[in-house]
Amino acid sequence: MRRFVLAACLALTSAFAFAADGAKPSGDPVQFQWGVKIPLRDGVRLNATLYRPLDQKEAVPCVFTLTPYISQSYHDRGMYFAAHGYVFATVDVRGRGNSEGEFTPLLQEAKDGHDVVEWLGTQPYCNGKVTMWGGSYAGYDQWATAKEFPAHLATIVPAASPMPGVDSPLRNNVFYPYDMPWLTFVSGKAGQDKIFGDSSFWSAMFRRWYEAHAPFAELDTWIGNPSPIFQTWIAHPAQDAYWDSYSPTDEQYAKLDLPILTITGHYDGDQPGAMAFYRAYMAHASQAGKDRHYLIIGPWDHPGTRTPQAEVGGLKFGEASLLDMNALHKAWYDWTMKGGAKPEFLKDKVAFYVVGEEAWRYAPTLDAVTARAEPWYLDSVAGRANDVFASGSLDRNEPSGGKPDSYVYDPLDTSPAEWESIDVPNGLTDQRVMRNAAGKMLVYHTAPFAADTDVAGFFKLSAWISLDQPDTDFIAAIAEIKSDGSSVALSDDLLRARYRKSFRAAESVKPGAIERYDFDHFTFQARRIAKGSRLRLVIAPVNSQWSQKNYNSGGVVANESGKDAKKVTVTLYHDAAHASALYVPLAAASSVHPK
């Protein structure tokens, strides 16, 4: 699936995205037991498949993954860890596969995960130390389990973990139509992978809904799978107590006392969630807890956080990016549960891969990845910044005046559907969106860089904007434009105008009022910007069959339809009193010097 938010081209491996396991079976014989029943506190029994070392003579630590994707999906991981001295259990979540009960996504996993840990920890083959393995949904449920403080949980390694209410099933309070393919995938007891994986089918479904200007609240009916879960989700369009209930509280973060290894990627669709969990823990944990939390950020997409690939969306990465994730997990488990040495790869608390340099760098904290944020000020000639060939500029000098730039967004414009339906295998390098959105966006370029320049961390955009309607949605996207004209997508951020001050409280825009909009939830990026390259900033409406549509009326977005549509003029100011700026995170040198 792809998320076409700026009308297309940034690859989506979305929240809860399912990917084939990708690990190669070891071929080593193990003790295998199918259909193990794990009792929960309310009498429901979960189904597990158990893999044990063939000649196990003593109790060893146990590893399990708790998955809605049917436990056989992780057979290869089970074989690997059982062949390397661990008991591994693949467990179907409540209501999925061969487990009993009713499936309620995410919310059920905290208590169920706790009970699985405690059951495994008391089995004769387990030495009382239990951990978890997995990414995406199985990364989230590690945090959910940990907040229940099971006594036998020794460590967690959450990869690509979504945080409900932050990036799944909505990002920055903007929902994804992708929620319905995912809910269809996990409907019933069995896997629906063929239906889920048919991208042409979903593209056609979404296009029909998009061109009909039907309300987002009716999407499940349009798809043909009415979903109470979907309706519950969209009833909570902002971060609130409902979404808070899925994740640890500040007090629970402070009480947690586990070694934690967080893993995410530059192009991981759940990077915002993984980072939100990481930052929340680091903000509230004890010093001892902070000292045992490590973070790895590779150049990977969502599945790549478990099985790294050398190429993603048309980008190719160096050999150093291809970490052996099975071996890394084993080394972490050996260290935290068997008294082994710390994994050699973890040379400092934060490891991040710099594309272009094709090397890993290290920092003691996430903030220390960035040496400084360098402001580049938006400007234009005569208020003209609507095309890549007639763009505005990003300058080091503050603007002294100048006519503001603007674009008009008509929610009834469905022209993006013509090219969004085309498969784009090179989604991170394709520039089709720029050709098709000419005149309907704002574009700004830096001058060519005079030398190779390393960026690492989080971009930020502060833009002075006025609207003539009470609401609209924006996307801000950043790319490297190479000297040959080719493009590399770097990072993006979404913002719904009514949530410009807080994701927890809506406030309608006063038409004509000039306000500062802070886009400060860009995704992490680390890349060497080549000499002669430029940075491109695009600010555009969110008008796509792959995103919830805001019809700009200021009403309940999920209930709006074409009849509520209002054209909006978005005006961006860059004069002396309104210095709009893009802040570029310049990379710090590695805290670890190569030998």
Contacts (Cβ under 8 Å, ≥6 apart) of 381: 392, 402
What tens digit of pLDDT does each residue of 495-505 get? 999 999 999 99
Name the residue type at position 210.
Y
Cα 375 versus chain centre, distance: 26
Q: Residue 401 — very low, low, confident or very high, per pLDDT cuts 50/70/90?
A: confident
The residue-averaged pLDDT of 487-493 equals 97
DSSP 3-state of 218: helix
pLDDT of residue 427: 87
Q: Which residue has the tokens 């290869």?
A: 76
Domain chopping of the chain, boundaries: 30-166+240-365, 174-234, 371-587
Q: Is the pLDDT reported for residue 161 higher than 80? A: yes
pLDDT of residue 190: 94
Least confident window among 63-72, 264-273, 315-324, 429-438:
429-438
Q: Residue 29 — very low, low, confident or very high, per pLDDT cuts 50/70/90?
A: confident
Burial group, residue 583, by CB count within 10 angstroms (0-12, 13-18, 19+): buried
Q: Which residue has the tokens 């309300």?
A: 215
Give the up-direction half-sphere exposure of residue 343: CA atoms within 13 A in the CB hemisphere.
25
pLDDT of residue 304: 97
Q: Is the pLDDT reported for residue 157 higher than 80? A: yes
Least confident window among 19-33, 141-155, 462-476:
19-33
Q: Is the pLDDT reported for residue 18 higher than 60? A: no
DSSP 3-state of 313: coil
This prediction's pTM: 0.95
CATH of 371-587, one of 3.40.50.2030, 2.60.120.260, 3.55.40.20, 3.30.1490.190: 2.60.120.260
CB 491 within 8 A of CB 523: yes
CB 356 within 8 A of CB 530: yes
Alpha helices by DSSP H, listed for 122-192, are 137-146, 179-185
Q: Residue 322 — very low, low, confident or very high, per pLDDT cuts 50/70/90?
A: very high
pLDDT of residue 49: 98
pLDDT of residue 577: 94
Q: Is the pLDDT reported for residue 413 higher than 60? A: yes
Q: Is the pLDDT reported for residue 525 higher than 70? A: yes
Q: How far is CA 161 from CA 143, 225, 418, 470, 497, in A?
A: 9, 26, 33, 34, 27
Q: Is the pLDDT reported for residue 388 higher than 80? A: yes
Which residues lie across from 394 on neighbouring strands?
Answer: 378
Percent of all residues in the chain with a pLDDT value above 70, rounded to a whole number: 95
The residue-averaged pLDDT of 567-582 equals 97
Nearest to 574 by CA among 442, 379, 338: 379
Q: How far is CA 269 from CA 305, 371, 394, 528, 542, in A?
A: 11, 26, 28, 22, 17
pLDDT of residue 392: 96
Q: Is the pLDDT reported for residue 6 higher than 50? A: no
Name the residue type at position 32.
F
Least confident window among 10-19, 55-64, 82-91, 212-221:
10-19
Q: Which residue has the tokens 């000419």?
A: 438
State which fold the 30-166+240-365 domain adopts.
Answer: Rossmann fold (3.40.50)
- Quick one: angle between helices 109-121 and 137-146, nearest 10? 70
Q: Residue 3 — very low, low, confident or very high, per pLDDT cuts 50/70/90?
A: very low
DSSP letter string, 204-262: HHHHHHHHTT--GGGHHHHHT---HHHHHHHT--SS-HHHHTTS--HHHHHH----EEE
- 5 φ/ψ angles, rounded to the nearest 5 degrees: -95, -45
What tens digit of pLDDT does each residue of 337-362 get? 999 999 999 999 999 999 999 999 99
The residue-averaged pLDDT of 167-186 equals 97
pLDDT of residue 299: 98
